[in-house]
Amino acid sequence: MSRTPANAAATRRGYGGRSAEELRAERRERLLAAAMELFGTQGYLATRIEHLCAEAKVTTRHFYEQFSDREALLTAVFDRVITDAATAVQGALAQDDMTGMERARAGLRAFVHLQLDDPRRARISCIEVMGVSRALEERRRVVMQQFAGVIEGQIQQLAAQGLVPQRSYRALALAFVGGVHELEIDWLLTQPRPSVDSVVEELWFILSTLLAGSQALMQQPG
């Protein structure tokens, strides 16, 4: 009766009874966690691949099995931060027992808290990805347009209810997203940092003032 060689069985099981695929996935997660910590605290430019590998407890060979270079890892952790933020916002907007304005405020609050409760997220998405490369800058621009699209969609719902004029709100939404981005940076660089709730309130004041201005224009004769 034929037997499976012991080393072949070990290869299939991997280390500690885990498969090779499970081990690769685990190493990837450790590298993403290391990137969140090091890029989010000491910064992208100050972090070398050797630092990331030491933090993640992997070898450089394992690093290059997962990512082509340091920028690829930065892009991956940026995408994760953005995905988490989008999930939080969509969860807040999915609540049915709110008015349109209450839902917009809940979405804003969910986004700001996710970003600022863990300042590493804000630093990676607002500071560390900027100016790294043309590809990453384009990725950042697409993300900002996507969030602007969410805001515009919420305002269009208010317009459908007759609460603000029927018009394009793309420029307003893009300007607001840019403002959120700059206020996140200002919050990161300010010591002592204001409370996260105070940032939410300031941003809501800005957005609600813009919407109130739209309402006033709608009520003007002619």
Question: 190-204, pLDDT tens digit by residue?
Answer: 999 999 999 999 999
From CA 73, how far away is CA 70, in angstroms rounded?
5
Mean pLDDT (the chain, rounded):
92
Contact 95, 103 (CB under 8 A): yes
Whether 10 has a pLDDT exceeding 90, the answer reads no
Task: Give the percent of the chain with pLDDT over 70.
Answer: 90
Q: Write out pLDDT tens, residues 40-79.
A: 999 999 999 999 999 999 999 999 999 999 999 999 999 9
Confidence at residue 215, expressed as pLDDT on a 0 to 100 scale: 74
What is the SS3 assignment for 99?
coil
**Confidence at 11, pLDDT banded by 50, 70, 90:** very low
Confidence (pTM) = 0.88
Measured distance between the N- and C-terminal CA atoms of the chain, rounded to whole angstroms: 94
Contact 70, 132 (CB under 8 A): no
From CA 10, how far away is CA 17, in angstroms rounded?
8
* Lowest-pLDDT choice from 5-19, 40-54, 62-76, 128-142: 5-19
**What does the chain come to in residues?**
222
Span 173-177, mean pLDDT?
Answer: 97
Confidence at residue 9, expressed as pLDDT on a 0 to 100 scale: 44
Side-chain-facing half-sphere of 36: CA atoms under 13 Å? 15
Q: How is residue 16 annotated by DSSP?
A: G
Where is mean pLDDT largest: 11-20, 42-51, 161-170?
Answer: 42-51
**Confidence at 214, pLDDT banded by 50, 70, 90:** confident
* Residue type at 206 in one-letter notation: I
> In the chain, what is the greatest distance between 2 CA atoms, to the nearest angstrom?
94
From CA 117, how far away is CA 122, in angstroms rounded?
9
Span 74-92, mean pLDDT?
Answer: 97
Q: Considering only residues 7 and 173, tell me which one the structure prediction assigns the higher pLDDT.
A: 173
Confidence at residue 2, expressed as pLDDT on a 0 to 100 scale: 46
**Confidence at 1, pLDDT banded by 50, 70, 90:** very low
